[in-house]
Amino acid sequence: MNNTWPFNPLLRSQQTEHLVMKGDKRRYIKFRGAPYYGGIATADAVGCSFLCAYCWSYNRNENPERFGKFYSAKEAAGILLEIARRRSFTQFRITGSEPVLGENSFNHLLKVIEIILDDSPRHTFILETNGFILGHKEDLVKRLKLPRLLVRVAVKGIDPESFEKITGAGKEYFKVPLLAIKNLERMGIQAWPALMEDLFSEDQVEDFIRTLKDYGISSDLELERLERYPFVLNNLRRRGIYL
């Protein structure tokens, strides 16, 4: 895969999807219960359109072809449902990667979601995404209008410069995830932006909240905290980001 910087995230998405999808199957590392959101059945997949400096799955997303096994949507959903039954969970997610890299991975994701939501009216699926492909392909957003689907869009920077430094993607793509949130809200899908607050000052965060409003985004901004693994701190320093 071409890792020249800054890179074109659309091209990277296409290249990555080719590596992590085989027919309708996707690469997954593991399936587990996790304490987030009050308890959630979780699938760890690989492959992303960005290469964020603070990503806890950095190595796997840099070389996705080296990790994981292929599972069909039916297989992945079945494992998640079994975890939920054992742990009395009603929430589900795919994490550690970008679930939407293109049409093929989107179709896989959508089938996982539909199987899980059809299993019980109590189930909720939280789609964790960077929003890039959803901002690039509005037609995909329309297909996400499902009951009990929530969409958390991790915005990576507060402006084009910080976006490029954090993600490795060209600064000209900064607006695309914001467009995804706007499109999701317009479709009546419950969605919200999330930002890694450790990397920015309080004033910068406040300015970004105003930027979101200027883009017509009404949802509140979620602030998340950095997992300060040694390799994450090293990656940040290599990008010129100091905490």
pLDDT at position 3: 61
Rounded CA separation 203/2 (Å): 36
pLDDT on residue 169: 97
What is the residue-averaged pLDDT of the chain? 96
Q: Map out the domains of the chain as residue ranges.
A: 9-238
Q: Residue 145 pLDDT > 90, yes or no?
A: yes
Q: Is the pLDDT at 199 greater than 70, yes or no?
A: yes
* Residue pair 148/33 in contact by the 8 Å Cβ criterion: no
Confidence of residue 2 (pLDDT cuts 50, 70, 90): low
Q: Which pTM was predicted?
A: 0.96
Residues in the chain: 243
| Exposure on the CB side of residue 36, measured as CA atoms within 13 A | 14
Distance CA 182, CA 180 (A): 5
Q: How much of the chain exceeds pLDDT 90, in percent?
A: 95
Chain segment 214-238, per-residue pLDDT in tens? 999 999 999 999 999 899 999 999 9
Average pLDDT over residues 146-170: 97
**Residue 5, pLDDT score:** 84
C-alpha–C-alpha distance, residues 205 and 194, integer Å: 11
Q: Where are the alpha helices (DSSP H) in the chain?
A: 9-20, 58-62, 73-87, 103-119, 132-136, 138-142, 160-167, 175-186, 202-214, 230-238
Band (4; pLDDT cuts 50, 70, 90): confident
Q: Domain 9-238 falls in which CATH fold?
A: TIM Barrel (3.20.20)
The distance of Cα 222 from the centroid of its chain, to the nearest Å, equals: 14
Task: Indicate the pLDDT class of residue 242, thresholds 50, 70 and 90.
Answer: confident
Specify burial of residue 209 (Cβ count, 10 A radius: 0-12, 13-18, 19+). Answer: middle
Token pair 């909240």: residue? 209
How many CB atoms are located within 10 Å of the residue 132 CB?
Answer: 27
- For residues 23 and 164, give the distance between their C-alpha atoms in angstroms, rounded to a whole number: 32
